[in-house]
A and B are shown apart, each in its own frame.
Chain A
Amino acid sequence: MEELLSKKTGEKVLLLGNEAAVRGALEAGVQFVSTYPGTPASEIGNIFYKISKEAGAYFEFSTNEKVALEAGIGASLSGLKTLVAMKHFGLNVCAEALIPFVYTGSRGPTVIFVADDPGCWSSAQSEQNSRAYSYLAHIPTLEPSDSQECKDFVKKAFEISEVFKIPVMVRTTTRVSHQRMPVKLGKLKELKSLSGKFVRDRSRFVTLPPRVLEMKEELLEKEKRIKEFAERRPGPKTKGQTKGIIASGISYLYAMESINELNASLPVLKIDFFYPFPEKIVKEFISPLKEVLVAEEMEPFVEKEIRIIAKEANCKLKIQGKSLLSQTGESKPEDVTFAIAKLLGKKYSLPEETKITALKRFPQLCPGCPYWLVFNGVKKAVDEKKIVFGGDIGCYMLGGMPPHNLQDFLFCMGSSIGVSHGIKKSNPAHPQKTISFIGDSTFFHSGIPALVNTVFNRSNPLIIIMDNSTTAMTGHQPNPAAPKDRQGIRIYDVVKACGVKNVKIVDPFNQEEFVKTVKDFVNRKEVSVIISEHPCKFVEKK
């Protein structure tokens, strides 16, 4: 990790995409970094957690992504170079802050780093394509393909933000963020001590109507200028060829590899400035072509843009994309090779599906994990068939897998409580019994408003807050109940302050007491909370 602070400009070091993004931010002179941990973006926070002091930047793990972005907005308005990092779902959480922030624009250059997870390697919930937010928020968006670009594009994003006074999004995917390659280091920027200052400018930072509509007009105007900037570079030459490829993100790398594999020669246009879309470059590229393949993962955002542009620029152009590549899951190199072979009319058959039966090895709770005893205790205490079990986001998601099988729904951070409340209210006379499992960090992230709602609107789910003194799933980051160097906020006090009368702290290793409490609390008329307190075995006892 020390190489991230290396002063050896020009040296090549092996970096993970996320590490390279950190380096890019340091080269840009980032001063303020906030995040909520989430894989595949987790390393960004983990690294800054370790090196921010030496780098001279402020860093925090915020309670959730909305708070992280709001903190970042505060820093930006105070003139600091700001980076906010998150996984794709975090963008949903902070969307309410993001959209007006693009209206007001940034003062200190601001970059929002977002990692998507096609194929759901480390994400439940959904396979989200965050590029949709580029349209929704009008936020300029860059898409790197590899580690070198992660570094360069983050740096570039800061420059764009500085020039146009607008936050810029850098969007990666798992295979980009978790790809390692030699990266050529640029010059590290020396930081002076932080001395940001919020300077009043109400016409810019107060988004009240009718001013807010003027702001939108100004944003659209700014967007035009950014588009011109994005278009101010040459596209690839087509040299009389009639077929070409347009690719973005990791698909670009697969396309380049496939062209070699097929011994083909094809012009490739890489879309790395996704938003605003570089229409002019695309126009020039497709005008002389007869057929084009658009290689991108998940939803066909680029393909749709190409179709619109082609209508005017080259209405006879045959456009292939999702006709050959799946919209679900990751593209694999051979999928892109197959699509390019089709484009070229070359023979290429996908490797035969192997008949060898693979053995599925499901992820498991670690040996010695206290959650084993939580699920075990619940099984002992209640008749599983008569309970609705609410799942939430964290290691305890594994409660939905064998041998536990204690999960009847799973949506998003905090939803184990929020959804249980709705289920309770659906039959006021005979509400179903529910048990919600939620972790300590997730409780602080999104569980508290849902808990307050059960008190406010009077329902009686049983909520088990599984306090293991860390954010375990994403690599053991601290959380409000478990900061590293001092006593954290007591979950018990928070739950009490929300107006919950039935609250008890139980160590699940005390099974008898735990089972007894579940039996008792599941029948209460008001909401009840068991705080299952036992540290993750990877957390040292304080």
Chain B
Amino acid sequence: MKNSKKQFNAVVVGTGGQGLITILQIMAKAAMDLRLDVKTSELHGLSQRGGSVEVHARIGKKIHSPLVAKGKADLILSLEQQEALNAAGFAGKNTFFLINKLISPIPFKSPVQEKEIARMLSQKTKKISFIPASDICRKELGTDVTAGIFLLALASIKEIIPIDFKTISKAVLDVIPEQYLKINRETLGLAQKYATEHKKN
């Protein structure tokens, strides 16, 4: 692992049906390919019915717990922007927030806007990045089902996660079923293009 710490902790949040478990599987597969130990924690059942979902992945030399401890996340990947607030408890001052600029409305509540979310999260960490992953995927691919893959790929390119882009790409191809491979390959390309165009961020 490139970073000095021996473990890498990721919390992925979003709403049911956004493919959070697929992201965990890709991370886990990639970690295995790098001969690292890995554990993930998933949630199934009632938690999926459009409710807030929070899943964990931990990578390192030796991993015991499948859960990230409070305040210990290295990365919080939020597939919906308001959900990032739900994961705030896992953030410390070095946590990186990678947030999909997507609002899934909560019934009878006015959505919390990006500025407000950034203000609140900045109490925890300065490393907050809003990425229009859903917008880009929708524009280029006609759907945002792969927005999570886009963000994961970006996290790899920007070296926020200790898994290089080549390994992540291979893991995507290994994990994703055949019929969705094309769109996922294209998503990886979009992430690369985005990273090149936004080098400074």
Q: For the complex, what is the distance from the CA of A497 to the CA of B48, rounded to whole Å?
A: 37
Chain A residue, CB-CB nearest to B44: A39
A179-B40, A356-B88 known; A253-B65 Cβ under 8 A: yes
Residues of B near A402 (CB, < 8 A) are 107-108
Closest-CB distance, A474 to chain B (whole angstroms):
7
> Any chain B CB within 8 A of the CB of A413?
no
Closest-CB distance, A331 to chain B (whole angstroms):
10
Would you call A180 and B45 a contact (CB within 8 A)? no
Residues of A near B50 (CB, < 8 A) are 361, 363-364, 366
Closest-CB distance, B126 to chain A (whole angstroms):
15
Give the interface segment out of B117-125, B149-157, B190-198.
B117-125
Residues of A near B120 (CB, < 8 A) are 356
Q: For the complex, what is the distance from the CA of A356 to the CA of B108, rounded to whole Å?
A: 20
A395-B49, A403-B107 known; A179-B70 Cβ under 8 A: no
Residues of A near B106 (CB, < 8 A) are 359-361
Give the interface segment out of B22-30, B127-135, B160-168, B178-186.
B22-30
> Any chain A CB within 8 A of the CB of B67?
yes
Residues of A near B40 (CB, < 8 A) are 179-181
Would you call A256 and B64 a contact (CB within 8 A)? yes
Would you call A122 and B45 a contact (CB within 8 A)? yes
Would you call A363 and B28 a contact (CB within 8 A)? no
Would you call A175 and B49 a contact (CB within 8 A)? no
The B14-43 residues at the A interface (CB cut-off 8 A) are 15-16, 24-25, 28-29, 32, 37-43
Closest-CB distance, B119 to chain A (whole angstroms):
10
Would you call A333 and B67 a contact (CB within 8 A)? yes
Majority secondary structure of chain A interface residues (helix, strand, loop or mixed):
loop
Closest-CB distance, B130 to chain A (whole angstroms):
16
A122-B46, A363-B47 known; A351-B89 Cβ under 8 A: yes
Q: For the complex, what is the distance from the CA of A253 to the CA of B83, rounded to whole Å?
A: 28
Would you call A354 and B39 a contact (CB within 8 A)? no
> Any chain A CB within 8 A of the CB of B51?
yes
A356-B120, A364-B49 known; A14-B32 Cβ under 8 A: yes
Closest-CB distance, B89 to chain A (whole angstroms):
5
Would you call B70 and A363 a contact (CB within 8 A)? no
Pairs of residues from A and B, 10 with the lowest C-beta to C-beta distance, nearest first: A122-B45, A39-B45, A363-B49, A363-B51, A351-B71, A333-B69, A256-B64, A257-B65, A351-B70, A356-B88
Residues of B whose CB lies within 8 Å of any CB of A are 15-16, 24-25, 28-29, 32, 37-52, 63-71, 82-83, 85-86, 88-89, 91-92, 106-109, 112, 120-121, 123-124
Q: Write 28 A-B pairs (CB below 8 A) sorted by A numbering.
A: A14-B28, A39-B44, A40-B44, A122-B47, A178-B43, A180-B24, A180-B39, A181-B40, A181-B63, A182-B32, A254-B67, A332-B67, A350-B70, A351-B69, A351-B92, A354-B88, A354-B91, A356-B88, A356-B124, A357-B85, A358-B86, A359-B52, A360-B106, A363-B47, A395-B49, A397-B46, A402-B107, A403-B107
